[in-house]
Amino acid sequence: QVQLQESGPGLVKPSETLSLTCAVSGASVAFDYWTWIRQSPGKGLEWIGLVSDNGSSNSDSGSTKYNPSLKTRVTISLDTSKRQFSLKLRSMTAADTAVYFCARDRGDGGLDSWGRGTLVTVSA
Amino acid sequence: QSVLTQPPSLSAAPGQKVTISCSGSFSNIGNSYVSWYQQLPGTSPRLLISETNNRPSEIPDRFSGAKSGTSATLAITGLQAGDEADYYCATWDGSLASMVFGGGTKLTV
């Protein structure tokens, strides 16, 4: 059974960088696509981006795709040795306050395993 | 404004059938698989349908997906109180090179 668990700060100051990690158990991060999605309070789901293993000997690498609206501020990376992937979102504002989910995409577009989500609030 | 358009809300009585629509364009639904998710209050989304009409083994056959052209639908038959949730469609948009979600439909049973 695949399990994903997000971790990171619940509070970030405006202009700072958010760093979240998603720990994966029950599956190898060397396969499939590993995804970040967020949900602002009372709003719908927004895809942030994904990372997949590009086969490099560097354990901290990956091929990425990002939401065009966030592309200039986001970096998603993969650490196969630690079985986790990470999100960095720079220049945070109040509009970035949301529950952040990590999820697995098997490649058919279906996100079949999700973390519980972590609420990130942007406030001074 | 979401790339995929869903009705904001629907309601139906227990036992009835409901169909949730998801309208897109040639660059997304017209050329990609569609997935559907159920989000119960306070929980993570759950995959109901992948590859437009494939149901994970744990999802009851009351849930089904279909697509025609640039629109997709999720049908739920034999509605139960436990089906009351938000439902989202999603697909890949080739023009945006991004996964896109519908705005979500709140289903009241």
Concatenate the DSSP letters of all residues of B65-107 into one string. Answer: EEEETTEEEEEE-S--GGG-EEEEEEEEETTTTEEEEB--EEE
Q: How high is the mean pLDDT in each 10-residue block of chain B (109 residues)? A: 95 97 97 97 96 94 97 98 97 95 98
Distance from CA of B54 to the nearest CA of A (A): 10
The pLDDT assigned to A90 comes to: 98
Which tokens hold the place of A121? 């609030």
Interacting residues of A52 by C-beta distance below 8 A, sequence separation 6+: A32, A33, A34, A62, A63, A78
Residue A108 — very low, low, confident or very high, per pLDDT cuts 50/70/90?
confident
Distance from CA of B23 to the nearest CA of A (A): 16
The pLDDT assigned to A58 comes to: 53
- Which residue of chain B has the CA closest to A100? B44
CB A4 within 8 A of CB A32: no
Q: Which of B4, B22, B44, B47 to mutate to test the interface with A (most CBs of A within 10 A)?
A: B44
Q: Which residue type is seen at B38? A: Q
Which tokens hold the place of B38? 């159920």
- Which residue of chain B has the CA closest to A104? B47
pLDDT at A61 over 80: no
Q: Which residues pair with A78 in a beta bridge?
A: A61, A85
Distance from CA of A122 to the nearest CA of B (A): 20
The pLDDT of A61-82, averaged and rounded, is: 92
Size of interface A-B (CB pairs under 8 A): 67
Measured between beta carbons, which residues in chain B are less than 8 angstroms from residue A105? 99
Distance of CA A36 to CAs A5, A32, A46, A93, B10, Å? Answer: 12, 13, 9, 18, 28
